[in-house]
């Protein structure tokens, strides 16, 4: 099975939008410190670029939560593979995610984190696929709303490949 990748969002468009998100988030958290929580593995590329563009003090932590495995559709079963290294109690928390489609993963994650009593809990995603939503998840900042296609690049993968692409592409699988 071979895949072809068609560019959906160029590197320049991604970079410009992340800059805009950084400005908006910086204004929202002016005078505060923000604690970014990256959802591994896909969110790393986005979080690093976003953090560089946020002008208020930033701390970071990482979680690994998933429902995909090696497929192109969510399995619907969410599992926590890596928890946070430090407490988020009384912190201004911003979850940074690469993509939200079914909402299963973020619905689960937001519930888990709310129980840890952060001062605030908000969500920023690079990509949003609202047509695939199964669980209602409020997204505070969205980079791009995209159609229901399987995408890779900028941290997103297909069977652990293509994360390093500097753009968002659509996977076209040739059988």
**63 CB-near residues (< 8 Å, 6+ apart):** 37, 38, 39, 40, 80, 82, 83, 84, 109
136 classed as catalytic = no
Of these residues, 101, 136, 140, 157, which one is catalytic? 101
Cβ-contact 146, 171 below 8 angstroms: no
Which residues touch 40 (CB under 8 Å, ≥6 apart)?
A: 62, 63, 64, 65, 82
Taking the C-alpha atoms of residue 64 and residue 83, their distance in angstroms, rounded to an integer, is 7
Are residues 132 and 166 in contact, defined by beta-carbon separation less than 8 angstroms?
Answer: no
Catalytic residues: 101
């Amino acid at each position: 099975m071979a895949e072809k990748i068609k560019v959906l969002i160029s590197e320049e468009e991604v970079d410009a939008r992340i800059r805009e998100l950084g400005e908006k988030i910086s204004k929202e958290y002016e005078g505060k410190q923000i604690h970014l929580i990256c959802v591994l593995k896909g969110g790393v590329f986005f979080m690093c670029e976003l953090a560089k563009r946020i002008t208020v003090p930033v701390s970071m932590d990482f979680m690994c939560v998933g429902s995909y495995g090696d497929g192109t559709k969510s399995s619907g079963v969410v599992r926590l593979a890596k928890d946070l290294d430090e407490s988020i109690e009384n912190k201004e928390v911003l979850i940074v995610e690469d993509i939200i489609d079914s909402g299963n993963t973020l619905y689960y994650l937001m519930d888990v984190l709310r129980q840890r009593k952060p001062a605030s809990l908000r969500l920023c995603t690079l990509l949003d696929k609202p047509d695939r939503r199964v669980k209602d998840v409020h997204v505070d900042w969205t980079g791009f709303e995209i159609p229901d296609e399987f995408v890779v690049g900028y941290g997103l993968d297909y069977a652990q490949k293509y994360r390093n692409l500097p753009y968002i592409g659509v996977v076209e699988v040739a059988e």
